Protein backbone atom coordinates (compact mmCIF):
# COMPACT_ATOMS: atom_id res chain seq x y z
CA UNK A 1 0.00 0.00 0.00
CA UNK A 2 1.22 3.52 -0.75
CA UNK A 3 1.72 5.42 2.47
CA UNK A 4 2.60 9.07 1.97
CA UNK A 5 4.82 10.36 4.77
CA UNK A 6 3.56 13.66 6.13
CA UNK A 7 6.35 16.19 6.72
CA UNK A 8 7.56 16.01 10.33
CA UNK A 9 6.87 19.74 10.69
CA UNK A 10 3.13 19.36 10.02
CA UNK A 11 1.02 20.55 12.93
CA UNK A 12 -0.72 17.85 14.96
CA UNK A 13 -3.93 16.85 13.25
CA UNK A 14 -7.03 17.19 15.40
CA UNK A 15 -8.17 13.83 16.76
CA UNK A 16 -11.26 13.64 14.60
CA UNK A 17 -12.45 10.93 12.28
CA UNK A 18 -12.59 11.50 8.52
CA UNK A 19 -13.33 9.68 5.29
CA UNK A 20 -9.57 9.34 4.79
CA UNK A 21 -9.16 7.62 8.15
CA UNK A 22 -12.08 5.34 7.39
CA UNK A 23 -10.39 4.34 4.13
CA UNK A 24 -7.21 3.54 6.05
CA UNK A 25 -9.22 1.32 8.40
CA UNK A 26 -10.94 -0.54 5.57
CA UNK A 27 -7.53 -1.16 4.03
CA UNK A 28 -6.11 -2.24 7.41
CA UNK A 29 -8.92 -4.76 7.84
CA UNK A 30 -8.45 -6.13 4.32
CA UNK A 31 -4.69 -6.24 4.07
CA UNK A 32 -3.71 -6.96 7.67
CA UNK A 33 -6.58 -8.80 9.31
CA UNK A 34 -8.46 -10.75 6.64
CA UNK A 35 -5.22 -11.62 4.84
CA UNK A 36 -3.88 -13.13 8.07
CA UNK A 37 -7.01 -15.14 8.78
CA UNK A 38 -9.22 -13.04 11.08
CA UNK A 39 -12.72 -14.21 10.17
CA UNK A 40 -15.30 -13.20 12.76
CA UNK A 41 -17.62 -10.67 11.17
CA UNK A 42 -18.25 -8.73 14.41
CA UNK A 43 -14.52 -8.42 15.11
CA UNK A 44 -13.79 -7.13 11.60
CA UNK A 45 -16.70 -4.70 11.92
CA UNK A 46 -15.41 -3.34 15.25
CA UNK A 47 -11.92 -2.89 13.77
CA UNK A 48 -13.46 -0.98 10.82
CA UNK A 49 -15.35 1.26 13.20
CA UNK A 50 -13.06 2.28 16.10
CA UNK A 51 -10.89 5.31 15.16
CA UNK A 52 -7.49 3.87 16.13
CA UNK A 53 -5.71 7.17 15.33
CA UNK A 54 -7.71 8.90 18.09
CA UNK A 55 -6.03 6.66 20.70
CA UNK A 56 -2.38 7.51 19.91
CA UNK A 57 -0.31 10.61 20.70
CA UNK A 58 -0.21 13.33 18.02
CA UNK A 59 3.38 12.53 17.07
CA UNK A 60 2.59 8.99 15.93
CA UNK A 61 -0.91 9.59 14.57
CA UNK A 62 0.26 9.41 10.92
CA UNK A 63 1.38 5.80 11.58
CA UNK A 64 -1.71 4.66 13.49
CA UNK A 65 -2.93 2.24 10.82
CA UNK A 66 0.39 0.57 10.10
CA UNK A 67 0.89 -3.15 10.61
CA UNK A 68 2.89 -2.71 13.82
CA UNK A 69 2.78 -1.89 17.52
CA UNK A 70 3.50 1.77 18.32
CA UNK A 71 4.93 3.51 21.40
CA UNK A 72 2.40 5.58 23.34
CA UNK A 73 4.69 6.78 26.15
CA UNK A 74 5.44 5.56 29.69
CA UNK A 75 6.93 2.34 28.28
CA UNK A 76 3.56 1.26 26.90
CA UNK A 77 2.62 0.34 23.33
CA UNK A 78 -0.61 0.13 21.40
CA UNK A 79 -0.62 -3.42 20.01
CA UNK A 80 -0.40 -4.21 16.31
CA UNK A 81 -3.92 -4.26 14.77
CA UNK A 82 -3.62 -7.99 13.96
CA UNK A 83 -2.85 -8.86 17.59
CA UNK A 84 -5.79 -6.76 18.83
CA UNK A 85 -8.07 -8.55 16.36
CA UNK A 86 -6.67 -12.01 17.13
CA UNK A 87 -7.01 -11.63 20.90
CA UNK A 88 -10.52 -10.21 20.47
CA UNK A 89 -11.50 -13.12 18.21
CA UNK A 90 -10.05 -15.64 20.68
CA UNK A 91 -12.03 -14.02 23.51
CA UNK A 92 -15.26 -15.08 21.76
CA UNK A 93 -17.38 -12.20 23.09
CA UNK A 94 -21.17 -12.17 23.26
CA UNK A 95 -23.20 -8.94 23.43
CA UNK A 96 -24.28 -9.62 27.03
CA UNK A 97 -20.75 -10.18 28.38
CA UNK A 98 -19.04 -8.32 31.20
CA UNK A 99 -15.33 -7.99 30.38
CA UNK A 100 -12.20 -7.04 32.29
CA UNK A 101 -9.07 -5.81 30.53
CA UNK A 102 -5.71 -5.52 32.29
CA UNK A 103 -3.41 -2.85 30.81
CA UNK A 104 -5.62 -0.06 29.45
CA UNK A 105 -2.67 1.68 27.73
CA UNK A 106 -4.18 3.82 24.97
CA UNK A 107 -7.75 2.61 25.56
CA UNK A 108 -7.98 1.28 21.98
CA UNK A 109 -8.42 -2.38 22.88
CA UNK A 110 -11.01 -1.37 25.49
CA UNK A 111 -12.97 0.48 22.78
CA UNK A 112 -12.91 -2.63 20.56
CA UNK A 113 -14.17 -4.70 23.50
CA UNK A 114 -16.91 -2.11 24.13
CA UNK A 115 -18.15 -2.59 20.54
CA UNK A 116 -18.70 -6.30 21.24
CA UNK A 117 -19.65 -6.64 24.91
CA UNK A 118 -22.15 -5.15 27.31
CA UNK A 119 -19.79 -3.82 29.98
CA UNK A 120 -16.05 -3.17 29.92
CA UNK A 121 -13.77 -2.58 32.90
CA UNK A 122 -10.09 -1.83 32.39
CA UNK A 123 -7.18 -1.40 34.81
CA UNK A 124 -4.01 0.61 34.14
CA UNK A 125 -1.03 0.87 36.47
CA UNK A 126 0.35 4.15 35.05
CA UNK A 127 -1.87 6.98 36.27
CA UNK A 128 -1.09 9.31 33.34
CA UNK A 129 -2.12 6.60 30.88
CA UNK A 130 -5.33 5.87 32.79
CA UNK A 131 -6.27 9.56 32.68
CA UNK A 132 -5.43 9.89 28.98
CA UNK A 133 -7.31 6.70 28.07
CA UNK A 134 -10.42 7.90 29.94
CA UNK A 135 -10.26 11.15 27.97
CA UNK A 136 -9.71 9.46 24.59
CA UNK A 137 -12.39 6.83 25.24
CA UNK A 138 -14.92 9.54 26.11
CA UNK A 139 -13.98 11.62 23.05
CA UNK A 140 -14.51 8.60 20.78
CA UNK A 141 -17.89 7.80 22.33
CA UNK A 142 -16.86 5.07 24.79
CA UNK A 143 -17.39 6.91 28.08
CA UNK A 144 -19.14 3.84 29.48
CA UNK A 145 -15.82 1.96 29.65
CA UNK A 146 -14.73 2.05 33.30
CA UNK A 147 -11.00 2.75 33.68
CA UNK A 148 -9.35 2.18 37.06
CA UNK A 149 -5.87 3.35 37.97
CA UNK A 150 -4.47 0.42 39.91
CA UNK A 151 -2.66 -2.89 39.90
CA UNK A 152 -4.10 -5.45 37.50
CA UNK A 153 -2.59 -8.31 39.53
CA UNK A 154 -5.47 -7.79 41.96
CA UNK A 155 -8.18 -7.76 39.31
CA UNK A 156 -11.40 -5.88 40.10
CA UNK A 157 -12.96 -7.95 42.91
CA UNK A 158 -15.97 -5.63 43.41
CA UNK A 159 -17.10 -6.29 39.82
CA UNK A 160 -16.12 -9.98 39.57
CA UNK A 161 -16.92 -12.44 38.17
CA UNK A 162 -16.27 -11.53 34.54
CA UNK A 163 -17.46 -13.52 31.53
CA UNK A 164 -14.19 -12.68 29.83
CA UNK A 165 -10.79 -11.31 30.89
CA UNK A 166 -8.08 -10.05 28.53
CA UNK A 167 -4.58 -9.24 29.77
CA UNK A 168 -2.61 -6.97 27.42
CA UNK A 169 0.70 -6.94 29.32
CA UNK A 170 2.71 -10.13 29.84
CA UNK A 171 2.97 -11.64 33.33
CA UNK A 172 5.57 -14.40 33.91
CA UNK A 173 2.59 -16.61 34.71
CA UNK A 174 -1.11 -15.79 34.61
CA UNK A 175 -2.11 -14.44 38.06
CA UNK A 176 -4.28 -16.81 40.06
CA UNK A 177 -6.43 -13.88 41.31
CA UNK A 178 -7.45 -13.16 37.72
CA UNK A 179 -8.30 -16.78 36.91
CA UNK A 180 -10.47 -16.76 40.05
CA UNK A 181 -12.36 -13.73 38.72
CA UNK A 182 -13.40 -15.57 35.52
CA UNK A 183 -17.04 -16.72 35.73
CA UNK A 184 -17.83 -20.42 35.29
CA UNK A 185 -18.12 -21.02 31.54
CA UNK A 186 -15.82 -18.03 30.98
CA UNK A 187 -12.49 -17.43 29.28
CA UNK A 188 -9.27 -15.47 29.80
CA UNK A 189 -6.81 -14.60 27.02
CA UNK A 190 -3.31 -13.38 27.89
CA UNK A 191 0.30 -13.24 26.80
CA UNK A 192 2.46 -15.14 29.27
CA UNK A 193 6.22 -15.41 29.64
CA UNK A 194 9.11 -14.23 31.75
CA UNK A 195 10.90 -12.57 28.83
CA UNK A 196 9.81 -11.07 25.49
CA UNK A 197 11.57 -13.94 23.68
CA UNK A 198 9.46 -16.60 25.35
CA UNK A 199 5.97 -15.08 25.48
CA UNK A 200 3.04 -17.00 24.11
CA UNK A 201 -0.62 -16.16 23.83
CA UNK A 202 -2.55 -18.38 26.25
CA UNK A 203 -6.26 -19.18 26.40
CA UNK A 204 -7.64 -20.23 29.78
CA UNK A 205 -11.12 -21.74 29.82
CA UNK A 206 -13.15 -22.23 32.97
CA UNK A 207 -15.79 -24.94 32.59
CA UNK A 208 -19.25 -24.62 34.15
CA UNK A 209 -18.05 -26.91 36.96
CA UNK A 210 -15.08 -24.61 37.60
CA UNK A 211 -12.45 -26.85 35.97
CA UNK A 212 -9.68 -24.81 34.36
CA UNK A 213 -7.94 -25.79 31.11
CA UNK A 214 -5.27 -24.03 29.04
CA UNK A 215 -4.30 -23.92 25.41
CA UNK A 216 -1.54 -22.07 23.57
CA UNK A 217 -1.94 -19.85 20.53
CA UNK A 218 0.99 -18.01 18.88
CA UNK A 219 4.25 -16.42 20.14
CA UNK A 220 3.77 -12.72 20.92
CA UNK A 221 5.72 -9.75 22.29
CA UNK A 222 4.03 -7.59 24.92
CA UNK A 223 5.37 -5.15 27.49
CA UNK A 224 5.81 -6.94 30.82
CA UNK A 225 3.03 -6.87 33.39
CA UNK A 226 4.69 -5.15 36.32
CA UNK A 227 3.71 -5.41 39.97
CA UNK A 228 2.80 -2.15 41.63
CA UNK A 229 5.80 -0.85 43.60
CA UNK A 230 5.42 -1.05 47.37
CA UNK A 231 4.64 2.32 48.97
CA UNK A 232 7.74 4.13 50.21
CA UNK A 233 7.83 4.11 54.02
CA UNK A 234 8.31 7.57 55.61
N1 LIG B 1 -4.36 -2.62 25.71
C2 LIG B 1 -3.48 -1.50 25.43
C3 LIG B 1 -2.05 -1.94 25.24
C4 LIG B 1 -1.37 -1.88 26.52
S5 LIG B 1 0.36 -2.02 26.64
C6 LIG B 1 -3.95 -0.69 24.25
O7 LIG B 1 -4.95 -1.05 23.62
O8 LIG B 1 -3.33 0.34 23.97
C9 LIG B 1 0.39 -2.70 28.29
C10 LIG B 1 -0.13 -1.79 29.37
O11 LIG B 1 -0.18 -2.55 30.57
C12 LIG B 1 0.76 -0.59 29.65
O13 LIG B 1 -0.01 0.58 29.56
C14 LIG B 1 1.24 -0.84 31.08
O15 LIG B 1 1.41 0.36 31.83
C16 LIG B 1 0.13 -1.69 31.64
N17 LIG B 1 0.48 -2.52 32.80
C18 LIG B 1 1.64 -3.16 33.08
N19 LIG B 1 1.56 -3.82 34.26
C20 LIG B 1 0.30 -3.60 34.73
C21 LIG B 1 -0.40 -4.01 35.92
N22 LIG B 1 0.18 -4.76 36.87
N23 LIG B 1 -1.68 -3.59 36.07
C24 LIG B 1 -2.28 -2.81 35.13
N25 LIG B 1 -1.68 -2.39 34.02
C26 LIG B 1 -0.40 -2.77 33.81
Q: pLDDT tens per residue, the chain (234 residues)? A: 455 555 444 444 457 899 999 999 999 999 999 999 999 999 999 999 999 999 999 999 999 999 999 999 999 999 999 999 999 999 999 999 999 999 999 999 999 999 999 999 999 999 999 999 999 999 999 999 999 999 999 999 999 999 999 999 999 999 999 999 999 999 999 999 998 889 999 999 999 999 999 999 999 999 999 987 676 776
13 within some domain: no
Choose, from 79, 106, 122, 213, the residue flagged as catalytic: 79
| Short-list 182, 176, 164, 30, CA closest to 109 | 164
178 within some domain: yes
How far is the centre of ligand 1, averaged over its atoms, from the C-alpha of 178 (Å)? Answer: 15
pTM beyond 0.85: the answer is: yes
Whether 113 contacts 101, CB under 8 Å: yes
Q: Is 217 a catalytic residue?
A: no
pLDDT of amino acid 12: 47
CA-proximal residue: ligand 1, atom 2 (nearest): 105
* CA 158/CA 137 separation, integer angstroms: 22
117 within some domain: yes
How far is the centre of ligand 1, averaged over its atoms, from the C-alpha of 102 (Å)? Answer: 6
Residues within a 6 A CB radius of ligand 1: 76-79, 102-103, 105-106, 108-109, 123-126, 129, 151-153, 168-169, 223, 225-226
7 within some domain: no
Domain count, the chain: 1
70 within some domain: yes
* CA 208/CA 210 separation, integer angstroms: 5
Whether 100 contacts 154, CB under 8 Å: no
Query: In degrees to the nearest 10, what's the CA dihedral of 165, 184, 177, 189?
Result: -30
Please tell me what DSSP assigns to residue 154. G
How far is the centre of ligand 1, averaged over its atoms, from the C-alpha of 7 (Å)? Answer: 31
153 within some domain: yes
pLDDT of amino acid 5: 53
CATH no. for residue 144?
A: 3.40.50.150
pLDDT of amino acid 9: 45
6 within some domain: no
161 within some domain: yes
- Domain extent for 185: 19-219
Amino acid sequence: MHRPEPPMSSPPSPAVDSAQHRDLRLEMVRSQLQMQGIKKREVLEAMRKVPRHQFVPDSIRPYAYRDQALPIGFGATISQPYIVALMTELLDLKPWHKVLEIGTGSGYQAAILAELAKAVYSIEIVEELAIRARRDLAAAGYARVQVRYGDGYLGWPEQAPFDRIMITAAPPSIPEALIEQVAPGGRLVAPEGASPQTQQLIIVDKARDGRVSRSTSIPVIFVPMVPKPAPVKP
